[in-house]
């Protein structure tokens, strides 16, 4: 049965965030809010967490997982970025974007796209996940909480708790955070390719 945490969207309770971070370090899979919609998250190297996310979302091995990072310095440890791409991403973060980039050796092999050796990264603009990332001190391995055969992600923490009670270990509820997932920009070829139009404005990449 999943633990349920009601957290303030702007000033999340420090003790709650600390407890959730400790759970993630111990292998927990959590559902948490972002600036675009709810996501599933676990510790970076958790093979069990990856498998559980794949099972919940019915994902194949071509799915790009996302490393949700606290800041640009942390993001830079896990992906290769040239100067032009650096400037483009820097100007758009934090925000509702996921960027696909060539991965560094810091990224566990099981997270990489099998052919491209790429990974998704993002820096969200949301106080709850920022507090959680600061407490963890490392990225969250994440995927949008979009269930198979459903057109939109889940938006209510209590509903996530009811439907995924025996599939996740904890749910952080800070209220409705929208249904639109991130805009996905693929920079792995050097130029910006819009893979998915979502919550982030795409005009700067067109």
Which of 86-90, 109-113, 139-143, 188-192 is predicted with the least confidence, judged by mean pLDDT?
Answer: 109-113
The rounded distance, in Å, linking the Cα atoms of 96 and 114 is 25
CA nearest to 36, candidates 189, 162, 200, 203 = 200
In whole numbers, what is the pLDDT of the chain averaged over residues? 92
Q: pLDDT tens, 120-142?
A: 999 999 999 999 999 999 999 99
State the pLDDT at residue 153.
Answer: 83
114 pLDDT higher than 80: no
CB 78 within 8 A of CB 102: no
Residue 190 CA, chain-centre distance (Å), reads 23
Q: pLDDT tens, 19-66?
A: 999 999 999 999 999 998 899 999 998 999 999 999 999 998 778 889
CB 24 within 8 A of CB 129: no
178 pLDDT higher than 80: no
State the pLDDT at residue 99.
Answer: 96
The rounded distance, in Å, linking the Cα atoms of 72 and 154 is 28
* Residue located via tokens 């093979």: 47
Give 204 or 61, the one with higher predicted confidence.
204
CB 20 within 8 A of CB 172: yes
Structural domains in the chain, sorted by start: 3-205 (3.90.870.10)
What pTM did the predictor assign?
A: 0.94
77 pLDDT higher than 80: yes
State the pLDDT at residue 51.
Answer: 93
The one-character DSSP state at 105 is: T
């Amino acid at each position: 049965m999943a633990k349920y945490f009601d957290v303030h969207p702007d000033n999340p309770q420090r003790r709650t965030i600390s407890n959730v971070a400790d759970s993630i370090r111990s292998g927990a899979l959590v559902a948490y809010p972002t600036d675009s919609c709810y996501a599933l998250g676990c510790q970076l190297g958790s093979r069990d967490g990856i498998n559980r996310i794949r099972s919940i979302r019915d994902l194949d091995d071509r799915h790009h997982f996302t490393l949700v990072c606290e800041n640009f310095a942390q993001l830079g440890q896990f992906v290769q970025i040239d100067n032009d791409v650096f400037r483009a991403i820097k100007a758009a973060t934090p925000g509702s974007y996921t960027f696909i980039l060539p991965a560094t050796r810091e990224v566990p092999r099981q997270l990489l796209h099998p052919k491209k050796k790429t990974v998704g990264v993002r820096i969200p603009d949301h106080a709850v996940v920022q507090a959680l990332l600061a407490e963890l001190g490392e990225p969250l391995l994440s995927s949008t909480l979009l269930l198979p055969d459903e057109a939109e992600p889940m938006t209510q923490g209590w509903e996530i708790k009811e439907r995924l009670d025996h599939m996740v270990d904890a749910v952080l509820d800070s209220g409705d955070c929208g249904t639109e997932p991130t805009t996905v920009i693929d920079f792995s070829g050097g130029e910006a390719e819009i893979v998915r139009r979502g919550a982030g404005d795409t005009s700067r990449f067109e």
